[in-house]
Chain A
Amino acid sequence: MPKQSTYNLYFIALLVVLLICFVINICLGSVNISFFKTFKALFGTATEDASYYIIWEYRLPKAMTTIMVGGGLSLSGLLMQTLFRNPLAGPYVLGISSGASLGAALLIMGTSLFSGAFTLSTFNDITLAIASSLGSFLVLSLVLVVAAKVKDTMALLIIGLMFGSITAAIVSVLSYFSKAEKLQQYIFWSFGSLGNLSWVQLLIVALCTITGIFLSIISIKPLNAFLLGENYAKSLGIGLQKSRYLIIVATGLLAGSITAFAGPIAFIGLAVPHITKQLFHTTDHKVQIPAVLCCGAILMLICDTIAQLPGSVSVLPINAITSIFGAPVVIWLLVRKRKMIF
């Protein structure tokens, strides 16, 4: 087992890489802003310069969103993998993201449908966050109920897929009946975008993410005990119900709030925990939690930088890039010989 000092070294390296990726991410974009100018805009005084505006109002919030989205989704993936004892669990695969979509869709399009009963015709950022978090909690608890009955890894994944289909179906029924502008609003949301967040929205995501991280940190011991299985965890004096609830709330908050603002983003939550397990050679959550946060943020920054297609005007959907990274990880997990070890 590697020593604590080795881990510290790894973490310093990861933080350096994170910082480099962060700076590169800010420097590159559709508009060509030189490295020097970027620095001046970041640390210098406010100017009327366009580059200053672009960096402070667009690129900086986007880069920070990216970090939180990457870290938060990866952490929720790690929590789910431990909770479900399933190496292929993740917020996207098990339909948690679709649950969040359902919540968002119900809020955006549903309220306009039933506006006779509700006077709530406008929605704001906080209600959107609440709605999609509730949506993800709903699907998460449904999946948990089913997971208690089905022990098979594959069956659970297919059930997660089915939940995704059901929510997608409800969303399409909703969109069939809703007004054009509401539908447009929803469609833009569902593309998944890191760039549209204001500083206020960023603050909400940050609050949810930090709460999620905090809940995960106080659950480190139960999480480690769950690696032995629930009965062993109980024999070690872990309060099963309480720990389970804490972990579920953390997962729902992370996946729900992030999906609410950034849209459903695929595979990051599933892939990153496996990458960190390869890097750190440990299953200890004391190491894993900070590790997935760093690695998730780094990977997401890289994906976002690629999606920006630096120098060109067009932007690729972030989902496409994360899938290109993430889907092969799933295939590799399924193909390798020691199957189903997490």
Chain B
Amino acid sequence: MLRTLGNFQPKFSGTIAVEGKELSTYNELQIASKISVVLTEPIASKNLSVYELLALGRQPYTNWLGKLAKKDISIINNSISLLELEPFLDKKCFHLSDGQLQRVLIARALIQDTDIILLDEPTTHLDLYHKVQILKLLKTIAHKTHKVILFTSHEIELAIQLCDKMLILDGKENAFNEPCALIENKKFDSLFPTDTISFDPNTGSFKIKK
């Protein structure tokens, strides 16, 4: 679904509206200034330095040579300080850990300066601490910059604690609401087969049945 929203795959049916207009009526460059993405696939060249990678986020706005204007540089620097990336700027991407690289990619999406940021499972391959760090970071960014941040995840327990709104894709109801309301409406209870996993509404977590 995220791939369709990001205009990578054609949709099966329905409409995707961005600012009240159908997504397919925008051209590629216009979409690039509305939606930025962080994908699961690894970047092609790990030989990019962090700063070069971040600067690529300004591509939709730069001239044909990709020269950075003053405004571009100040936007890049803002995101660098917001995500505290200063120590990594000169490093090549293959020197970074998965968590660090994910932060850099999120910064790149921020630098693209779009109202919507889509992230495809941004927390896979990370340990619990870094997962939480990334998700908290996304929450801060969403509240500070008033952007729409939409991410897919299998980390339901973390999402319940951190997200403003959740969409549960269970193939039946696909409920969309605030996490607390979803718990009250018992939307999580039947998400997994109840004979192996049960949901505890008090703690907002799943328990394994022994």
Whether A224 is near chain B, meaning CB under 8 Å from some CB there, is yes
User: How many chain B residues have a CB neighbour from A under 8 Å?
Assistant: 37
Residues of A within 8 A of B35 (CB): 235
Contact present for B94 and A338 (CB under 8 Å): yes
Contact present for A224 and B47 (CB under 8 Å): no
Contact present for A221 and B65 (CB under 8 Å): yes
User: How far is it, in angstroms, between the C-alpha of A237 and the C-alpha of B37 when the chains are bound?
Assistant: 12
CB closest residue in chain A, given B6: A235
Contact present for B60 and A237 (CB under 8 Å): yes
Whether A234 is near chain B, meaning CB under 8 Å from some CB there, is yes
Contact present for B45 and A342 (CB under 8 Å): yes
Residues of B within 8 A of A236 (CB): 32, 56-57, 59-60, 112
User: How far is it, in angstroms, between the C-alpha of A273 and the C-alpha of B197 when the chains are bound?
Assistant: 55
Whether B200 is near chain A, meaning CB under 8 Å from some CB there, is no
| Residue among B7, B28, B33 making CB contact with A238, cutoff 8 Å | B28
Query: Given known contacts A1-B49, A237-B60, A342-B47, is B37 in contact with A232 (CB within 8 Å)?
Result: yes
User: How far is it, in angstroms, between the C-alpha of A224 and the C-alpha of B53 when the chains are bound?
Assistant: 9
Chain B contacts with A in 151-201, Cβ cutoff 8 A: none
Contact present for A1 and B41 (CB under 8 Å): no
Residues of A within 8 A of B49 (CB): 1, 281-283
Residues of B within 8 A of A218 (CB): 64
Whether A30 is near chain B, meaning CB under 8 Å from some CB there, is no
CB closest residue in chain B, given A81: B45
Residues of A within 8 A of B39 (CB): 229, 231-232
Chain B contact residues: over half helix, strand or loop, or mixed?
loop
Contact present for A235 and B37 (CB under 8 Å): yes
User: How far is it, in angstroms, between the C-alpha of A85 and the C-alpha of B47 when the chains are bound?
Assistant: 11
User: How many chain A residues have a CB neighbour from B under 8 Å?
Assistant: 30
Chain A contacts with B in 12-29, Cβ cutoff 8 A: none
| Residue among B33, B42, B43 making CB contact with A237, cutoff 8 Å | B33
Whether A182 is near chain B, meaning CB under 8 Å from some CB there, is no
User: How far is it, in angstroms, between the C-alpha of A342 and the C-alpha of B48 when the chains are bound?
Assistant: 9
The smallest C-beta distance from A231 to any residue of chain B, in angstroms, reads 6
Contact present for A221 and B59 (CB under 8 Å): yes
| Residue among A228, A234, A277, A286 making CB contact with B43, cutoff 8 Å | A228
User: How far is it, in angstroms, between the C-alpha of A118 and the C-alpha of B125 when the chains are bound?
Assistant: 63
User: Per-residue CB proximity of A202-242 to B under 8 Å, as 1/0?
Assistant: 00000000000000001011001111111110111111000
User: How far is it, in angstroms, between the C-alpha of A82 and the C-alpha of B44 when the chains are bound?
Assistant: 9
Whether A284 is near chain B, meaning CB under 8 Å from some CB there, is yes
Contact present for A224 and B43 (CB under 8 Å): no
The smallest C-beta distance from A274 to any residue of chain B, in angstroms, reads 10
Residues of A within 8 A of B29 (CB): 237
User: Per-residue CB proximity of A264-283 to B under 8 Å, as 1/0?
Assistant: 00000000000001000111
User: How far is it, in angstroms, between the C-alpha of A85 and the C-alpha of B45 when the chains are bound?
Assistant: 7
Query: Given known contacts A235-B32, A235-B36, A286-B66, is B52 in contact with A85 (CB within 8 Å)?
Result: no
- Could you list 12 examples of A-B contacts with CB < 8 Å? A220-B64, A221-B64, A224-B66, A227-B45, A227-B48, A229-B39, A231-B37, A231-B39, A236-B112, A237-B33, A283-B47, A283-B49
A235-B7, A236-B57, A238-B59 provided; 12 other pairs, C-beta below 8 A?
Answer: A1-B51, A220-B64, A221-B62, A221-B66, A229-B43, A231-B37, A232-B39, A235-B36, A237-B32, A282-B49, A282-B52, A284-B52
